[in-house]
A = this chain, B = another copy of it.
Amino acid sequence: MKIAQNILNTFFPPIVGAKDLIKEIKPDKSIINLSQGIPSIMPPNQAVLMLTEKMSELESIHKYSDDRGIPELREEIKKDIYERHGIKIGVENILITAGANMAFFQAILTLLNSGDTILIPSPYYFNYVMAANFLNVEVREVNILNEDIFLEEFRNKLSDKLDAVLFINPENPTGRVYDKEFLREVYKVSLKKNIVFIYDEVYRDFYIEDGARHYSPIEEYGISENLIILGSFSKSYGMTGYRVGYLIADKEFIWNLLKVQDTNIICAPVASQYLAYYSLKYFKNHPEEYVERLKKSVEIFCEKMKDVDWFNFRKPEGAIYTLLNYDFPIDGNEMVKMLYEREGILTVSGNSFGRFSNRSLRISFNDLDVERILELKKRFEEFGKWIKEK
């Protein structure tokens, strides 16, 4: 069948592609899967129970909800924003989507014209670049390793002829948390130059540094004509299969977004919305136990991997990932295959995250206990020996 040019011009989703990459390979060793961005956390048991009870009782849960989402959940998000940031927003500023990917895709479809430009810091989250490609929106891919250099350039030429800028904080795939002052400055420049600031807070509950607090421009600016916030329940409540995310923006934008929502999905799955509602209302601290485990994994990993000499990495400050950077002249996909074949370790090639992470592998800290980390270390060292001899 005919395929649209924008789709042909877009790369294939790397995580789906990764499964294909290693399909034929059967490692001798047991498999350690570091590739998946799915926290090993389950939804709150009690919330699932509340949901299944509601499903057997209430008729309306089986039917469409308001396009914007069930009022209970929007009300709860409104309260949550107030508790976190001391800012009162209205339910009319909130739209429930089927995940943050959809929130982003629908946002840029509503916001940007073909030929408009969005700045996406790199290494990037690939789905957002794909979304821009579909709509013929130009992606300005900018290396953001150094915040000071970025800010300097953003104040000058980098923000010229720019329609939107995206920040994911904490960031996927690097595990970086942006400095608050840095974000404030970028936001201020955006405001002045009428650039829409799209802020993805999907990992806002996953801070690894003790005492770290999530910053959001909403706490200083409230609802603004230049701010779109994206969020999700998938990661915080271990409910990736339910597909519930949200978007916060000014009322007029939400109103226009409804055209897209109605045409794309009508409303987010209603039972899923109730699970998000129960989780946020009654089990707000649910992510904490997971975050404690995550902190420990990161600590131990950093401690133990010091001795492995063929890669270096940055200790993540948030989210669940880091990039292992190596400097052999070997393509990332090739490395993924070799590491999987020889050591049973599954990672994602840095290629998947843009042109500034070419020689790297993304790993997830999900579900790494001491024992697995020690096993990993052994295998990484063996791999290092082998690859240097090669």
State the A residues within 8 Å of B (CB).
Answer: 1-8, 10-13, 15-16, 38, 42-43, 48-49, 51-52, 55-56, 59-65, 67, 98-99, 101-102, 105, 109-114, 116, 127, 130-131, 134, 136, 163, 194, 196, 225-226, 228, 238-243, 249-250, 252-253, 256, 258-260, 262-272
Asked if A263 and B98 make an inter-chain contact with CB atoms under 8 angstroms apart, the answer reads no
Residue in B62, B131, B252, B262 whose beta carbon sits within 8 Å of that of A127 in the complex: B262
Which residues on the B side are within 8 Å of A7 (C-beta)?
109-110, 256, 259-260
CB distance from A349 to the nearest CB of B (A): 16
- Measured CA separation A52–B4 after assembly (Å): 40
Most chain B CB within 10 A, of A268, A271, A272, is at A271
Which residues on the B side are within 8 Å of A2 (C-beta)?
111, 163, 194, 196
Which residues on the B side are within 8 Å of A98 (C-beta)?
98, 243, 265, 269
Asked if A10 and B259 make an inter-chain contact with CB atoms under 8 angstroms apart, the answer reads yes
Residue in B131, B196, B241, B260 whose beta carbon sits within 8 Å of that of A263 in the complex: B131
What are the 3 tightest A-B residue pairs by CB atom distance, in nearest-first order?
A241-B270, A13-B262, A52-B52
- Measured CA separation A116–B114 after assembly (Å): 15
- Measured CA separation A286–B62 after assembly (Å): 15
Closest B residue, CB atoms, query A251? B1
Which residues on the B side are within 8 Å of A260 (C-beta)?
7, 134
Closest B residue, CB atoms, query A136? B114
Asked if B109 and A4 make an inter-chain contact with CB atoms under 8 angstroms apart, the answer reads yes
Which residues on the B side are within 8 Å of A60 (C-beta)?
241
Given A49-B56, A59-B42, A269-B272, decide whether A263 and B1 contact each other with a Cβ distance below 8 A: no
Residue in B48, B63, B240 whose beta carbon sits within 8 Å of that of A55 in the complex: B48
Asked if A114 and B111 make an inter-chain contact with CB atoms under 8 angstroms apart, the answer reads no
Which residues on the B side are within 8 Å of A38 (C-beta)?
63-64
- Measured CA separation A260–B6 after assembly (Å): 11
Which residues on the B side are within 8 Å of A262 (C-beta)?
13, 15-16, 101, 127, 130
Asked if A13 and B62 make an inter-chain contact with CB atoms under 8 angstroms apart, the answer reads no
Which residues on the B side are within 8 Å of A265 (C-beta)?
98-99, 101-102, 243, 265
Residue in B13, B111, B242 whose beta carbon sits within 8 Å of that of A269 in the complex: B242
Given A13-B262, A99-B265, decide whether A196 and B1 contact each other with a Cβ distance below 8 A: yes
Given A16-B262, A225-B1, A240-B62, decide whether A134 and B109 contact each other with a Cβ distance below 8 A: yes
Residue in B62, B239, B250 whose beta carbon sits within 8 Å of that of A43 in the complex: B62
- Measured CA separation A119–B43 after assembly (Å): 45
Which residues on the B side are within 8 Å of A136 (C-beta)?
114
- Measured CA separation A249–B272 after assembly (Å): 28
Which residues on the B side are within 8 Å of A56 (C-beta)?
48-49, 52
